[in-house]
Amino acid sequence: MSKPHEEGGDLVSKERLASAFMSLGIAEPTDEAEIEPEPSTYKAALRSPQARQWKEAMCQKWQALVDNHTFDIVAKDNTIHTPTTDRTVEEPIGCKWVYKRKINPDGSTRYKARLVIKG
C-alpha cells in the first residue's frame, strides 16, 4: 500500500487537480504570483484588496459562534456564578482572527475566518 504523498497514492496534488479541471474547461488557470498571501492580522485583512470577502467570512463565523452559544460575553469587572464556584473576571481572554483562502473543486475561491483563543 502506498502512502498518500507518494506517486500513485490516494491523494492528488493540487497541480494535477488544477490541470485536470482546466483541461475539462471547468476552471481557468490562475497565476499564483497574483494571489496575495493570507492576512495575518485583522488590520491586514481590512487593508487587503479582498477586504470585503474577509469581512463577510468574519461575519459568517461570528454569527455561527453566537448561534451556537459558543461563549458568553461578560463585563470585565463582573463575577461569574457557576454551580461549583464564584469567581471574578480579572483578565479577559485574548483572541485573534485567523484567515484561510480555500480553492473549491470548481476553481472558485472561498474565504474562511476563524476566531481563536490566544494562549
Going by the DSSP 8-state scheme, the letter that residue 50 receives in this structure is T
Could you tell me the three cell numbers for 93?
A: 481572554
- Mean pLDDT score of the chain: 78
Q: What pLDDT is attached to residue 67?
A: 93
- In this prediction, residue 34 has a pLDDT band, given cuts at 50, 70 and 90, of low
Give the predicted TM-score (pTM) of the model: 0.60
Residue 45: pLDDT band (50, 70, 90) is: very high
- Is it the case that residue 89 has pLDDT exceeding 70? no
Cβ-contact 97, 42 below 8 angstroms: yes
Task: Output 52 or 28, whichever has higher pLDDT.
Answer: 52
Q: Answer for the pair 105, 21: CB distance below 8 angstroms, yes or no.
A: yes
Q: Is pLDDT of 106 > 70? A: yes
Q: 5: helix, coil or strand?
A: coil
Per the model's pLDDT, the better-predicted residue between 83 and 1 turns out to be: 83
> Does 25 have pLDDT greater than 60?
yes
Residue the block writes with cell 502506498: 2
Average pLDDT over residues 43-66: 95
**Mean pLDDT throughout 2-19?**
58
Alpha helices in 14-104 (DSSP H): 14-23, 42-47, 51-67
Percent of the chain with pLDDT over 90: 39
Query: 59 is written with which cell numbers?
Result: 461575519
